[in-house]
Chain A
Amino acid sequence: MEPRNAIRFYLNDNLVELSDVEPDRTLLDFLRIDRSLTGTKEGCAEGDCGACSVIVARKMDENLDIRTANACIIMPAMLDGTYVVTVEHLKGKDGGLHPVQQAMVDYHGSQCGFCTPGFVMSLYALWLAQPSPSVPAVEKALQGNLCRCTGYAPIIRAAQAVTDYGDVIDDALNTERAEILAKLAALGDGRRVVVRGARGETIIPADVDDLAAVLDERPEATVIAGATDVGLWVTKFMREIAPVVTIGHLMRDITVADGRIEIGAGVSYSRAFATMAEHIPPMGELIDRIGGEQVRNMGTIGGNIANGSPIGDTPPPLIALGASITLRKGSARRVVQLEDYFIDYGKQDRAKGEFVEAISVPVPGKNDIFAIHKVTKRRDEDITATLGAFCISLDGGTVTDARIAYGGMAATPKRARAVEAALIGQPWTMETVEAAMERFEEDYAPLSDWRASAQYRMLAAKNLLMRVYRESGGERARIVRHEEARGSAMPEGLQ
């Protein structure tokens, strides 16, 4: 089939076709500059403040998968085949303010008002998924929205009161659900999309085989899944990224079989959440603390691995779990232990044109202790100072195996071999753990930076092992803000 030379998506129920678009044009600039839709604001241009939050809905099987996203770090190519809603499109039943908007007004949820459209969009998505959200659910839904004026209290009150102002069944995304799905279905023509701007090409592969073919042809391409990292290359470093290949629409399956979770490289954190939380609960808790909801909706575990950051949050636990990844180039596939994939700072075992296709994660055994502890300056939506992941097997009170990996402690996510050696074969006791804590210096020599000093990283890293020990005995050895789980703000598809 001939490629299509236009990106197509719906914006506030109007079809948009873009044939001449720069590979690094952000959705935010497209909205504000090209379409004069100025309700969506630029606060930080890096996906941290949420002032640019919009809704991106995608057809997933027969459901509409409704997610928030940061328009500032999304490229239009990522929107092909989606239904985008901005604050301008929100309406109440009578054409006045939408229930979310009216609640925000009545509960004094805005002061300067600049962050407010972004909060409205996050609360809108939350309300669609959970009309009567708990405080923990509201806090989670707002992890990616910064407000500097209100102290959040009135916004949380408003979030819980939205249900008094209207019923989700009357919302346009529900009343027009069938039409929207039909429109999106009509956009799916199964063709590769290629568009060109002055700064180069954007390619949207038709399927995974096509992706393999595209990368074979253009091994120098920048691969974008959620753009939660590449977006900043554009907005902060003005780096040339063309040609761009988007993959966020591919490899979106997550399955469980034979004690392993198989995660497609295009599975976002949000989509992975429910499965991970069910089978490996600490992974669910960790995902809750990666970015904000908008970042989790776009960012992928595959991308977290592929970009090789020493402070990526998922590699240490995946290494501790013994996960492997499938790398593909053309039709050739190879399986690599994740631990072996990270070679050095900025260097991974991935050839040009090769891409991560899937991640295979063993579910820990019933008798294994599995824990993940992330330490940050601010609890939510912060980048790791140090993160420890622990998979410890016990037999009759003796440590039979230990796989411990840390992020933020070295140039790559890295195993704590000396610490593991000090544990294996020993009784699982305070003495053993204290002795093992002494071995951390053999494994790591962390750096000092703005997130933490080397001394703090080392001490906290050691103490996390103590936390694991204490918690294995039933003690509460960490701060839990809410006993109640925060839950997934956005469950799979809305019925």
Chain B
Amino acid sequence: MTALDARPAIRGGVHVSQKHDSAHKHVSGTAEYIDDMPEPAGALHAYLGLSTVAHGTIVSLDLDAVKAAPGVVGVLTARDIPASNDISQPGKHDEPVFADGIVEFHGQQIFAVIATSREAARRAAALAKVEYGPLPAMLDIGAAREAGGTVVTDPMKLERGDVAAGLAGARHRISGSMDMGGQEHFYLEGQIAMAIPGEDDEVTVHSSTQHPSEVQHMVGHVLGVPSNAVNIVVRRMGGGFGGKETQGNLFAVVAAVAAKRYGRAVKLRPDRDDDMVMTGKRHDFRVDYEVGFDDEGRIEAVDAVFAARCGFSADLSGPVTDRALFHADNAYYYPNVRLVSQPLKTNTVSNTAFRGFGGPQGMVGCERWIEDIAYALGKDPLDIRKANFYGETDRNVTPYHQTVEDNIIARLVNELEESSEYRQRREEIIAFNREPGVLKRGIALTPVKFGISFTLTAFNQAGALVHVYRDGSVHLNHGGTEMGQGLYVKVAQVLADSFQIDLDKVRITATTTGKVPNTSATAASSGSDLNGMAAADAAEQIKDRLVRFAMEKFDVPEDAVSFEPNCVLVGNQRHQWADFIDMAYLGRVQLSAAGFYKTPGIHWDRAAGKGKPFFYFAYGAACSQVLVDTLTGEYMVERTDILHDVGKSLNPAIDIGQIEGGFVQGMGWLTTEELWWDDKGRLRTHAPSTYKIPLASDAPKVFNVRLADWSVSKVPTIRRSKAVGEPPFMLAMSVLEALSMAVASVADYRIAPRMDAPATPERVLMTMERLKRAAAAV
């Protein structure tokens, strides 16, 4: 073409770092969260009354004092639910809005009080008199198993090869068990909803949810109104991490029921402590395993059971425990394998989605037997890992019979091993640990391979709504929700790139069920993959119309029309974008489109345990070094190096933020974040004073994070990028493994440390004591 074409590129297209679209509002306090919204005149506030026993019948419920308290407008119990007292996952019927006759965990909601202020409602809620008839409570995995192992949903089994023969024929066999704790999301903005009643049966709910369509469905179901009467709006959440995938339902439903009953806006926001007590968390797991392997540490067979404390209802425990099995191979090939899940019912809060969705628990279990093999053979665990990596052309079939076709783990790990100077530092550390002194070090390099797609195939669809206005400005709406992960700006970048206009011409608007229907949860790391594609589809539809319009109006062939930075080139005539759009409007071109996307080529047969559940895999690796005090078990992470695969990044700054943040959050799960229930089933770590998420001074002292910039998605993802939300979380396994090495040093690495998680200072010290005793006994 001609020199005419040398135009500056658009500002804010894809593959460039862009700030979060709300960053300037975050820092100035003007980004509006639901609790910041001006309340409609006459707005009321709801507060929930919670069970004070873990399991029992409700013998009597006396709310007279509650009703008589100052400011109280009314109370709601199970009897006041208009249509269905049920917010269960489809077909489960195990989760009431309000407990009716029986409570199944300490902290379960029994009633709501509605008052003129939140303070009045909260004070009144404390005045209820509830009499319980005690029932036996199963509080943890051990108790649930002893009581017969009731499950909340059907277990899953993945099987390939002949496990019995594989184990029998293996030169070495090890069996073991590992416990790992759950995790509180600790989104900084707690659960909240504000419902505003509309005409007839209509209601609008501002809900802090990752899944507006599910909230819409639940509100409609509980009120007994069709979905078209319910509009859910989510501009942003103050963090979600999976904790607002289903857990927002309750708050939205109660606010909506109250709003319709009293004809006034109703807001419901629990106190942080109540939020932590009454909403689900990451599942804690116990993994029982047997592994067979050869002299080189190559695995012949794996047989493992993954038991999870699911709590009193199914919620998402089925897909969570499924995903644990899907990731119990991490990056390793098992010639013979059997993996079984055990989603156990307990009298505790119903556990739920949390970044990684069972994947982390599957992988940590897997890395435990890798560690066992290394200690049994006296080898560097990294060598065991490398010996078992999936092959690129053979040894590449997963336990669920999907072939790994995009494997880059060997290259990734080799690069990180070099850049982090892993081998040299490991030698130095072993020498350091030989010296007298109470401080010991550990180092570990662990890989991550994470499957991308919802394992329920139907969820892998998304919609977007794009309007181009006469002045050339663009309105973007899609089904994904913004919880801080930068989804909105990434999708806007896709749209800017599609239209070849500057990013600031695209306005990002609140997610609402009224614009894009039947959306999936913003979960499973899928946000940009799905919604980016849907937005691009909408853009392509509009562009097609614009091209046809130009061909007709200017009588040119199709290839004479092209979208250049902030203008449209027709033949050799360049039109400014806004001028061209206005021309198209006058030419009666439809400048709005609903885009749609469904992930191609995936399928899953859960009963058979076979299929292709994942569109592709994301990879990463981390190397962490720790220093441990053998007198107290205290430790610090001295250095972490990360090399992570996000394909061809849509926005490197946002992706690096996800990696750094995911890693530190994962580190918290495996180190200082400990959920502690007492023997009455009361969660005693229900506030940040007792539940310790990482601080700035806990992050790795040296923290080197790089993108594997050579990686390009092998499948046609949005601009060949890869998902980034969850995979980095599991990079934190390197910290647990490094702590294990430091711990093992007290017995000269002769005994596998087998430390449970979270590795609190107490667990680190007590594990060292156990190893010292075992070493002395040998």
Interface residues of A (CB under 8 A from B): 29, 32, 36, 38-46, 48-49, 51, 86-88, 90, 97, 100-102, 104-106, 108-117, 120, 138-140, 142-143, 145-156, 235-236, 238, 375-383, 385, 449-453, 455-456, 459-460, 463-464, 466-467, 470, 475-479, 481-482
Contacts and interface: CB of A to CB of B under 8 A. Distances in A.
A42 B192 CA distance: 12
Given A105-B24, A108-B23, A146-B186, A151 B660 contact: yes
B634 A479 contact: yes
Interface in B683-708: 684-685, 687-690, 692-699, 701, 703, 705
5 contacts: A101-B24, A112-B484, A113-B238, A153-B703, A155-B696
Given A38-B36, A45-B272, A112-B238, A148 B696 contact: no
B438 A146 contact: no
Nearest to A38: B36
Contacts of B701: 481-482
Given A48-B689, A108-B19, A113-B236, A41 B188 contact: yes
Contacts of A111: 20, 239, 484-486, 657, 661
Contacts of B188: 41, 43, 49, 51, 112, 114-115, 146-148
Given A116-B26, A117-B27, A378 B661 contact: no
B10 interface: no
Contacts of A476: 437, 439
A382 B697 CA distance: 12
A153 B273 CA distance: 28
Given A111-B486, A153-B660, A377-B760, A478 B685 contact: no
B601 interface: no
A363 B654 CA distance: 52
Given A110-B23, A112-B240, A463-B632, 20 more contacts: A44-B272, A100-B27, A105-B24, A108-B654, A111-B661, A112-B188, A114-B33, A117-B27, A138-B696, A143-B695, A146-B693, A152-B696, A153-B699, A153-B703, A238-B122, A382-B692, A451-B690, A466-B631, A479-B636, A481-B697
A51 B241 CA distance: 18
Contact of B689 (A32, A114, A140, A383): A383
A148 B660 contact: no
B126 interface: yes
B209 to A, nearest CB: 14
A154 B657 contact: yes
Given A238-B122, A377-B672, A143 B697 contact: yes
A149 B239 contact: yes
A140 B629 CA distance: 22
Interface residues on B, range: 35 or more
B627 A456 contact: no
Contacts of B661: 111, 148-151
Contact of B28 (A39, A49, A112, A235): A39
Contacts of A156: 696
A459 to B, nearest CB: 7
Interface stretch (B57-65, B341-349, B761-769): B761-769
B148 interface: no
A148 B187 contact: yes
Contacts of B628: 479
B435 to A, nearest CB: 11
Nearest to A450: B676
Given A48-B687, A453-B762, A470-B438, A112 B237 contact: yes
B112 to A, nearest CB: 17
B278 to A, nearest CB: 15
A486 B32 CA distance: 35
Contacts of B631: 460, 463-464, 466-467, 477-478
B624 to A, nearest CB: 13
A378 B694 contact: yes
A473 B310 CA distance: 52
Contact of B438 (A42, A90, A117, A477): A477
The 9 closest A-B pairs by CB, nearest first: A39-B29, A112-B484, A114-B238, A113-B26, A151-B664, A111-B484, A48-B688, A38-B36, A450-B676
A449 B679 CA distance: 11
A380 B484 contact: no
A437 to B, nearest CB: 11
Contacts of B438: 466-467, 470, 475, 477
A100 B663 CA distance: 26
Contacts of A467: 438, 631-632
A476 B672 CA distance: 24
Contacts of A102: 27
B697 A112 contact: no
Contacts of A453: 762
B189 interface: yes
Nearest to B685: A450
Contacts of B634: 375, 379, 478-479
A44 B38 CA distance: 21
B696 A143 contact: yes
Contacts of A38: 29, 32, 35-36
Interface in B114-169: 119, 122-123, 126
A452 B762 contact: yes
B35 to A, nearest CB: 7
B9 interface: no
B665 interface: yes
Given A153-B703, A463-B632, A464-B631, A379 B698 contact: yes
Nearest to A482: B701
Contacts of A155: 696
A456 B768 CA distance: 12
Contacts of A381: 695
B653 interface: yes
B232 interface: no
Contacts of A105: 19, 23-24, 27
A49 to B, nearest CB: 5
A90 B30 CA distance: 12
Contacts of B654: 108
A154 B652 CA distance: 13
A110 B26 contact: yes
